[in-house]
């Protein structure tokens, strides 16, 4: 079984509104899978279906080789975007309650909670009420109740919102460690820099349709434009630029170098290679800078969504 | 199943630990008994003060025998002082009031020209007492004029007491009828209070989960229906516990209170019955009769009443609290609940009105019967009818209807609940609710 979760041709309607239109996503075991899309694209609908909060109108969902069924709620940990805990309930009791709802026995839940509370150094909060904690503190508790039952599948919806950079990094580290220990992670976010950092594969949903999915590296390759940033030390910048334009597409530079070099963005044509560009440049002056412009997840997101719209 | 148990347990604990719940549980009975004692004390105090009334009888019709002192009113003949002097004395505050009986030619005119002067407006009971004295006297005079012997009239008055039977051979009396009304009214009223207090508590709990957003985590572990049911059962258990504690506390406190203050419980209950009726009750209650009443109470279908009470109590509560849960799910905060509350409260209040209005006069009349079938009013109205004896087939119809409606409404409410709890920041309309009901899965 390569895939932990297979979503096949899922359709979900709310009255006349189609929230998910024939969406298929396959999530490999042990990966961090980025579920991306603009607001209202259908991400939350899909996540709620995986959590069995709602049922799809059609389509199938296979978790670890079996059709999704109520017993699977114990295999899933879910951190919703809209966080929340019982405000007037004590931290420890609340965590125990939620763990038991996930099918852990009381003693097992206590043991696991002790491990996590020690790990995050928050054992002193056990008897406090949530309303006495700061937002960041409550978020830590929330993270623990999401992962404490060792779920096979973890779903994080905007996991870093509400955390300061230090705690966000702590959480990111924990998420990657959970993956290394064998958990599969669905990671839904708008923050593209964290996508670059964390995700092995992504799917992009826009207006209820999946418009893109696959390995992040493959998608980047797919979206590469064969454009290079070029920095050249030359005495005749005007002539070089004119010459370049004969063979390549040339755009003004979107970067800065330290000296007063000629800086340009150069796009290769179908019939020339990076080496040809480089040898052209070396024959004209001192090459200071030569980098392929790799599209960021952010660029891909914006490009794909705009094209789809 | 164990998840449901977990939810019930949490809801129960959350409710019971709440400070206002603890306060309500332990302070209400104290307050109730204290208020009862206060009312009793004040009434006793009030009665102790004897009212001095003077009268000026210019008609020369009345005699000392017509104005016999009672426990609370003493009379003095001031005819010799004259009207003006007497009025002045009353004005100075020496006496409660002055009754002026002028001289008239005919009894008819006399009856309409008697006057009463007092510094403050006189109490109803005083006026009633005076009027009845005068009416009796004038009637007797009139009868005398007609040549009728008053002794004969009195002899002809033979009190009748119709004994009431039903066909299961139970003897009943007017008093026991009153008792049945009381039992039914208390049961129905309790049910209404319980539904309102704990129904809103269910609703609040739903809103709290919604606004704190924890609901999304919970429903990723359990079905929304389980959560709703757990909430309802948990709150109902907390409520039953509260009622139980109230019952025990009221019993203990009133026992202690009566021991300390020497307040007789029977006296306390009859304290607000007007004096002349009290006489009747006292006569009736006296001696053997008391024994009879206890026997009659024991002869009420107590087991049947208890079982039915539990059934309608739970059925009614489940029916209404599922609606309250649906309302909680449909809104974002408590202020938005009002538009949905009216249709829930209306049948409840109607039930109590119908109960007090018709069941008491005619427990088996067509209106009472009809409303004891309609599931939204049946828990209250039927509970009020039960002490009067309701046939099994009527109970069967009413209970079946309630059961069917209850299941249907819980199903319907669960559909609204399921969608509503995940809808944030939107004030739902009735149209939305209808749409939610139609959503699949």
Is A64 found in the same domain as A40?
yes
Instruction: Look at A89 and B14 and tell me if their CB atoms are within 8 Å.
Output: yes
Residue B75 above 80 pLDDT? yes
Which residues on neighbouring strands pair with residue B57, listed in sequence order?
B101
Q: State how far the Cα of A142 lies from the Cα of A79, in Å rounded to an integer.
A: 7
Instruction: Look at B14 and A145 and tell me if their CB atoms are within 8 Å.
Output: no
Is A303 within a domain? no
Is A76 within a domain? yes
Last residue of a domain, one of A174, A190, A221: A221
> In the prediction, which pLDDT does B167 show?
58
Nearest CB among B6, B219, B439 relative to A53 is that of B219
pLDDT in tens, B277-310: 444 444 444 445 556 666 666 666 777 888 888 8
Q: Do the beta carbons of residue A70 and residue A52 sit within 8 Å? A: yes
Dihedral Cα B281, B287, B290, B295, nearest 10 deg = -150
Across all residues in chain A, what is the average pLDDT?
A: 89
**Percent of chain A having pLDDT more than 90?**
39
Nearest to B325 by CA among B225, B405, B407: B225
Instruction: Look at A15 and B220 and tell me if their CB atoms are within 8 Å.
Output: no
> In the prediction, which pLDDT does B267 show?
47
Nearest CB among B3, B216, B223 relative to A82 is that of B216
Is A246 within a domain? yes
Q: State how far the Cα of B373 lies from the Cα of B401, in Å rounded to an integer.
A: 7
Q: State how far the Cα of B184 lies from the Cα of B180, in Å rounded to an integer.
A: 6
| Domain ranges, residue A235 | 225-293
Average pLDDT over residues A242-248: 84
pLDDT in tens, B111-170: 888 888 888 777 777 888 888 888 888 888 888 888 888 788 888 877 776 666 665 555
Q: Does B19 touch chain A (CB under 8 A)?
A: no
End-to-end alpha-carbon separation of chain A, Å? 36
Nearest-5° angle of CA B386, CA B391, CA B394? 90
Q: Does A260 touch chain B (CB under 8 A)?
A: no
Instruction: Look at A57 and B440 and tell me if their CB atoms are within 8 Å.
Output: yes
For an interface test with B, which of A84, A95, A151 has the most B Cβ atoms less than 10 Å from its Cβ?
A: A84
Contacts of B221 in chain A (CB under 8 A): 73, 98, 101-102
* Min Cα separation B435/chain A (Å): 7
Q: State how far the Cα of B144 lies from the Cα of B165, in Å rounded to an integer.
A: 42
Helix axes A297-308, A216-223, angle to 10 degrees: 70
Q: Does B212 touch chain A (CB under 8 A)?
A: yes
Is A309 within a domain? no
Is A201 found in the same domain as A62?
yes
Chain A segment 9-48 residues within 8 A of B by beta carbon are 13-15, 48
Is A254 found in the same domain as A175?
no
> In the prediction, which pLDDT does B293 show?
60
Is A182 found in the same domain as A118?
yes
Identify the band that residue B270 occupies on the pLDDT scale cut at 50, 70 and 90.
very low
Contacts of A82 in chain B (CB under 8 A): 213, 216, 424
pLDDT in tens, A10-40: 999 887 889 999 999 999 999 999 999 888 8
Instruction: Look at B223 and A70 and tell me if their CB atoms are within 8 Å.
Output: yes
Is A205 found in the same domain as A282?
no
Residue B356 above 80 pLDDT? yes
Residue B355 above 90 pLDDT? no
Residue B174 above 70 pLDDT? no
For an interface test with A, which of B4, B10, B215, B220 has the most A Cβ atoms less than 10 Å from its Cβ?
A: B220
Cα separations in angstroms, B46 against A200, B64, B271:
88, 26, 12
Neighbours of A285 (CB within 10 A): 16
Is A177 found in the same domain as A58?
yes
Residue with more model confidence, A146 or A193: A146
Is A177 found in the same domain as A84?
yes
> In the prediction, which pLDDT does B439 show?
75
The DSSP annotation for B69-135 comes to --SSEEEEE-GGG-HHHHHHHHHTTSSSEEEEE---SSHHHHHHH-EEEESSPPPHHHHHHHHHHHH
Per DSSP bridges, beta strands A262-267 and A249-252 are antiparallel
Per DSSP bridges, beta strands B73-77 and B51-57 are parallel
> In the prediction, which pLDDT does B306 show?
81
> In the prediction, which pLDDT does B122 show?
78
Instruction: Look at B216 and A57 and tell me if their CB atoms are within 8 Å.
Output: no
Specify the 3-state DSSP secondary structure of A210: strand
Instruction: Look at B10 and A98 and tell me if their CB atoms are within 8 Å.
Output: no
> In the prediction, which pLDDT does B272 show?
46
For an interface test with A, which of B13, B14, B212, B437 has the most A Cβ atoms less than 10 Å from its Cβ?
A: B212
The domain tally of chain A equals: 2
Q: State how far the Cα of B75 lies from the Cα of B230, in Å rounded to an integer.
A: 69
Compute the half-sphere exposure of residue A198: CA atoms within 13 Å on the CB side of its CA: 33
Q: Which residue of B has its CA nearest to A145?
A: B217
Residue B275 above 50 pLDDT? no
Is A280 within a domain? yes
Q: Which residue of A has its CA nearest to B218?
A: A98
Is A247 found in the same domain as A215?
no
Q: Does A84 touch chain B (CB under 8 A)?
A: yes
Q: Do the beta carbons of residue B53 and residue B98 sit within 8 Å? A: yes
Residue with more model confidence, B276 or A123: A123
Is A98 found in the same domain as A42?
yes
For an interface test with A, which of B214, B421, B428, B440 has the most A Cβ atoms less than 10 Å from its Cβ?
A: B214
Residue with more model confidence, A53 or B266: A53
Chain B segment 79-98 residues within 8 A of A by beta carbon are none
Here the tokens at position B264 are 């007789």
CATH number assigned to the domain with residue range B48-150, chosen from the 4 options 3.40.50.11540, 3.20.20.80, 3.40.50.2000, 3.40.190.10: 3.40.190.10
Q: Full-prediction pTM beyond 0.80?
A: no
Is A181 found in the same domain as A151?
yes
Residue B374 above 60 pLDDT? yes
> In the prediction, which pLDDT does A77 show?
93
Last residue of a domain, one of A221, A237, A270: A221
Which one-letter DSSP state was computed for residue A129? Answer: B
pLDDT in tens, B406-429: 888 888 888 888 888 887 766 778
> In the prediction, which pLDDT does A191 show?
82
Across all residues in chain B, what is the average pLDDT?
A: 80
Is A82 within a domain? yes
Nearest to B389 by CA among B295, B291, B302: B302
pLDDT in tens, B201-244: 999 999 988 888 888 899 889 988 889 999 999 998 998 898 88
Instruction: Look at B441 and A14 and tell me if their CB atoms are within 8 Å.
Output: no
Q: What are the boundaries of each domain within chain B? A: 2-36+171-438, 48-150
> In the prediction, which pLDDT does B271 show?
45
Is A184 found in the same domain as A42?
yes
pLDDT in tens, B16-39: 988 888 888 888 878 877 887 788
Nearest CB among B208, B222, B441 relative to A54 is that of B441
What count of CB pairs under 8 Å joins A to B? 68
Is A131 found in the same domain as A25?
yes
> In the prediction, which pLDDT does A245 show?
85
Residue A8 above 90 pLDDT? yes
Identify the band that residue B95 occupies on the pLDDT scale cut at 50, 70 and 90.
confident
ipTM value for the complex:
0.81
Instruction: Look at A73 and B221 and tell me if their CB atoms are within 8 Å.
Output: yes
Q: Lowest-confidence range among A50-59, B266-275, B388-397, B408-417?
A: B266-275
Residue A234 above 60 pLDDT? yes
> In the prediction, which pLDDT does B273 show?
47
Q: Which residue of A has its CA nearest to B222?
A: A101
CATH of the domain at A47: 3.40.50.300
> In the prediction, which pLDDT does A253 show?
81
Cα separations in angstroms, B200 against A141, B172, B214, B310, B417:
30, 40, 20, 20, 15
Give CA A143 to chain center in angstroms: 17
CATH of the domain at A288: 3.30.70
Residue tagged 């007609």 (tokens): B146
Average pLDDT over residues B28-53: 78
Q: Which residue of A has its CA nearest to B10?
A: A97
Contacts of B435 in chain A (CB under 8 A): 15
């Amino acid at each position: 079984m390569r895939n932990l979760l297979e979503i096949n041709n899922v359709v979900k309607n709310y009255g006349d509104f189609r929230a998910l239109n024939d969406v298929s996503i396959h999530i490999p075991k042990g990966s961090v899978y980025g579920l991306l899309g603009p607001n209202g694209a259908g991400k939350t609908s899909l996540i709620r279906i995986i959590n069995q909060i709602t049922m799809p109108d059609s389509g199938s969902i296979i978790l670890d080789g079996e059709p999704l069924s109520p017993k699977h709620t114990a295999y899933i940990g879910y951190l919703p975007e809209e966080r929340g805990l019982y405000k007037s309930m004590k931290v420890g009791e609340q965590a125990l309650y939620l763990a038991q709802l996930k099918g852990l026995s009381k003693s097992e839940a206590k043991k696991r909670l002790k491990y996590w509370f020690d790990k995050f150094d928050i054992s002193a909060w056990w008897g406090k009420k949530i309303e006495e904690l700061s937002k960041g503190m409550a978020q830590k508790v929330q993270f623990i109740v999401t992962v404490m039952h060792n779920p096979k599948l973890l779903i994080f919806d905007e996991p870093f919102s509400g955390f300061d950079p230090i705690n966000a990094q702590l959480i990111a580290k924990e998420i990657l460690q959970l993956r290394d220990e064998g958990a599969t992670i669905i990671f839904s976010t708008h923050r593209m820099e964290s996508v670059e950092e964390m995700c092995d594969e992504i799917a992009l949903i826009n207006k209820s349709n999946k418009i893109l999915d696959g390995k992040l590296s493959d998608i980047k390759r797919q979206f590469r434009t064969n454009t290079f940033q070029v920095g050249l030390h030359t005495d005749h910048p005007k002539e070089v630029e004119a010459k370049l334009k004969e063979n390549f597409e040339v755009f003004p530079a979107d970067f800065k170098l330290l000296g007063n070099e000629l800086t340009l963005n150069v796009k290769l044509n179908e019939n020339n290679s990076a080496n040809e560009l480089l040898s052209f440049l070396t024959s004209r002056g001192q090459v200071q800078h030569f980098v392929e412009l790799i599209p960021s997840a952010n660029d891909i997101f914006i490009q794909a969504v705009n094209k789809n719209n | 199943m164990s998840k449901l148990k977990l939810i019930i347990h949490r809801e129960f604990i959350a409710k019971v630990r709440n400070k206002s719940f603890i306060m309500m549980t332990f302070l209400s009975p104290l307050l109730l008994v204290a208020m009862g004692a206060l009312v009793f004390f004040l009434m006793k105090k009030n009665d102790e003060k004897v009212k001095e009334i003077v009268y000026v009888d210019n008609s020369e019709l009345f005699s000392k025998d017509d104005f016999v002192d009672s426990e609370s009113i003493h009379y003095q003949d001031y005819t010799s002082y004259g009207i003006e002097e007497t009025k002045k004395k009353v004005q100075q505050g020496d006496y409660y009031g002055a009754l002026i009986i002028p001289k008239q030619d005919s009894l008819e005119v006399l009856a309409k020209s008697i006057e009463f002067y007092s510094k403050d407006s006189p109490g109803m009971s005083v006026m009633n007492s005076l009027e009845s004295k005068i009416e009796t006297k004038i009637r007797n005079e009139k009868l005398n004029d007609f040549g009728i012997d008053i002794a004969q009239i009195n002899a002809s008055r033979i009190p009748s007491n119709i004994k009431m039977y039903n066909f299961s051979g139970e003897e009943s009396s007017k008093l026991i009828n009153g008792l049945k009304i009381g039992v039914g009214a208390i049961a129905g009223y309790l049910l209404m209070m319980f539904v309102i207090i704990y129904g809103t508590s269910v609703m609040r709990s739903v809103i709290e989960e919604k606004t704190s957003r924890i609901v999304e985590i919970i429903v990723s572990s359990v079905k929304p229906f389980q959560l709703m049911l757990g909430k309802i059962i948990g709150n109902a258990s907390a409520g039953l516990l509260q009622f139980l504690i109230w019952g025990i506390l009221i019993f203990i406190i009133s026992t202690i209170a009566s021991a300390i203050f020497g307040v007789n419980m029977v006296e306390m209950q009859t304290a607000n019955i007007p004096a002349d009726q009290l006489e009747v009750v006292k006569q009736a209650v006296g001696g053997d009769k008391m024994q009879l009443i206890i026997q009659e109470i024991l002869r009420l279908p107590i087991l049947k009443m208890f079982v039915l009470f539990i059934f309608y109590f739970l059925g009614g509560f489940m029916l209404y609290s599922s609606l309250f849960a649906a309302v909680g799910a449909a809104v974002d905060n408590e202020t938005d609940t009002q538009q949905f509350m009216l249709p829930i409260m209306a049948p409840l209040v109607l039930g109590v009105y119908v109960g007090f209005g018709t069941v008491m006069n005619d427990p088996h009349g067509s209106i009472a019967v009809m409303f004891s079938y309609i599931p939204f009013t049946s828990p209250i109205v039927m509970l009020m009818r039960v002490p009067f004896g309701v046939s099994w087939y009527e109970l069967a119809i009413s209970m079946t209807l309630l059961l069917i409606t209850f299941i249907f409404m819980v199903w319907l409410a669960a559909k609204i609940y399921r969608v509503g709890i995940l809808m944030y920041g939107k004030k739902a309309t009735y149209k939305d609710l209808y749409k939610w009901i139609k959503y699949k899965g």
